[in-house]
Amino acid sequence: MSRKPIISGNWKMHHNHFEAIQTVQKLHYRLESDDYEAVDVTVHPPFTDIRSIQTLIEADKMKIGLGAQNCHWEEKGAFTGEVAPGMLAKLDVQYVIVGHSERRELFGETDEVVNKKVKAVIANKMTPIMCCGETLEEREQGEAEAKVERQVREGLAGLSKQMVANLVVAYEPIWAIGTGKTATAEDAEAMCAKVRAVVADAHGADAAAGVRIQYGGSVKPGNIVELMSQTDIDGALVGGASLDADQFAAIVQYRNH
């Protein structure tokens, strides 16, 4: 089964809605229709930008996929400060990052919470990008594989084969996020292959063949080609370099390098 690559820009808490509009306009200007045919391109601005970007994408018929960085798992209720998945779906959000390591480490999200969010995103007909990955300490102690396996098994627990085949898992070693350190292409491939093997064991061969696995952690125009040439890496989740439209476009256009 051929899996269409997916390259996603996670803007974290950067870019107000004016800056977001400029960045998406510039990205759209840089990308050609061939790029969208070859790669699914998604941007994940802060919540406050989403309505503006939705309007821009619709007005200019852009093929950029709109994403969010997080959501709650409940549809409504007394959850001050939270955003429901249905609210995002109404804004034509297509992809939601779930369980980013910053959410897990800084905001205490557990595998159980991540699993509820994954299910809520799918129930609202959006695609989860579920993140997993180890700390440097866990890697040095030889615990990286076991941690990632647990995150994948628990995060995707209770989903049908079909659901798993259609979602995205992002393997992001925490020590590589925002640090300028990238996993070697071999190490990134080894863990992405491990993720696929865990999916095969838990959900079957069809789910494993369909699930798209991104690598994330200091992806730049200079390292994307080698990463994308690996068998089990189907895309990238890009933080810092996605804030700049030129750099992000160069990453999306890795085929031309």
The rounded distance, in Å, linking the Cα atoms of 21 and 193 is: 36
CA angle 218, 94, 244 (to 5 degrees): 35
User: Residue 102, Cβ neighbours under 10 Å: how many?
Assistant: 21
- The residue among 12 and 15 lying less far from ligand PEP, judged by its C-beta, is 12
For the question of residue 172 being annotated catalytic, the response is yes
Tokens matching residue 156 = 């995707």
As measured in angstroms, the least distance from the Cβ of 239 to ligand PEP is 2
As measured in angstroms, the least distance from the Cβ of 101 to ligand PEP is 7
As measured in angstroms, the least distance from the Cβ of 33 to ligand PEP is 26
- The residue among 178 and 204 lying less far from ligand PEP, judged by its C-beta, is 178
Token pair 């960085």 in the structure block, residue: 69
Q: Which of 102, 172, 189, 203 is catalytic?
A: 172
Residues that bind ligand PEP (CB under 6 A): 10, 12, 172, 177-178, 216-219, 237-241
- The residue among 177 and 207 lying less far from ligand PEP, judged by its C-beta, is 177
195 Cβ contact partners less than 8 Å away, ≥ 6 residues apart: 132, 148, 152, 169, 171, 213, 232
As measured in angstroms, the least distance from the Cβ of 217 to ligand PEP is 5
Which residue is closest to ligand PEP by CB? Answer: 239
Q: Can you count the helices (H) and strands (E) in the chain?
A: 13, 8
Q: Which of 44, 100, 102, 134 is catalytic?
A: 100
- The residue among 72 and 104 lying less far from ligand PEP, judged by its C-beta, is 104
Strands 212-216 and 65-68: unpaired
What residues are labeled active site? 100, 172
